[in-house]
Amino acid sequence: MERYSVITEKNPREIVLLRAFPCAWGKCAFCDYIEDNGRDGAEMAAQNRQVLARVTGKLGVLEAINSGSCFEMPRETLEDIRRLVQEKHLRRLILESHWIYRNRLEELRAFFGIPVTYKMGVETFDFAFREKVLNKHADFRTPQEVAAYFDSICLMVGIKGQTREMIRSDISLMKQYFRHGTVNVYNNNSTPIRRDEELVRWFLEEYAWLAEDPDVELLCQITDFGVG
């Protein structure tokens, strides 16, 4: 498991994959990342401290992710990140959060004392597919609702049951309402949710231009950010 990487192309930053307490929702049909969660806060904090020790601050931006939301990281880890902000003179943090924490985002902005960009895994704006198939537990109906809280979104493409029309709509709404987005091409894992190879081939041809879009990061493998 690689837990530290440096991204030098789009949106240059250091990125760390940290451990946290179990995801508050933890029932997304496509997700088996929660196996990285734990319940021993002291042990996870110690492991996270070793990862954070690799952060140099040379790019001024740190992205800290975990298999859930940033609010589920051990308190000691959040304090370690705050020390890094001060010691390495970081200008910005990038964190991930589930929709259920949308009313708490300002807490960590105040805690860290620097701008925080929040990412949210929307997966798709198609309500029925998101809730009935993916079981995301995010009850928003419009992109405007999400944009009122989150700066950046993650979409998922290439899942059996998705359609080209869904993907076209999702990409269009991402570009219209958000300054930054990440598009994840789905890879099969231990869950029953399966990849649609034909849909993936179409998407990679139709949306090849996303690779050149400075505001969109296209991930074809779950380790494309260098962690995982």
Domains located in the chain, CATH noted: 4-219 (3.20.20.70)
Q: How far is 85 from 14, CA to CA, in rounded Å?
A: 13
User: Which segment of 29-33, 72-76, 84-88, 119-123 scores lowest on mean pLDDT?
Assistant: 29-33
The residue type at 220: C
Stated pTM of the model: 0.94
Q: How far is 151 from 66, CA to CA, in rounded Å?
A: 18
**Per-residue pLDDT at 220:** 94
Q: What is the pLDDT of residues 176-203, one digit of tens each?
A: 999 999 999 999 999 999 999 999 999 9
pLDDT category at 86 given cuts 50, 70, 90 is very high
**Per-residue pLDDT at 106:** 97
The answer to whether residues 2 and 223 touch, using CB atoms and an 8 Å cutoff, is yes
The answer to whether residues 197 and 203 touch, using CB atoms and an 8 Å cutoff, is no
What is the DSSP code string of 38-84? -S-HHHHHHHHHHHHTT---TTSEEEEEESS-GGGS-HHHHHHHHHH
Percent composition of the chain: helix, strand, coil (DSSP 3-state, to 5): 40, 20, 40
Q: In which residue are the tokens 């690779």 written?
A: 211
Q: What is the pLDDT of residues 52-75, one digit of tens each?
A: 999 999 999 999 999 899 999 999
Which residues, including other chains, have CB under 8 Å from residue 107's CB and lie 6 or more apart?
none
**Per-residue pLDDT at 90:** 98
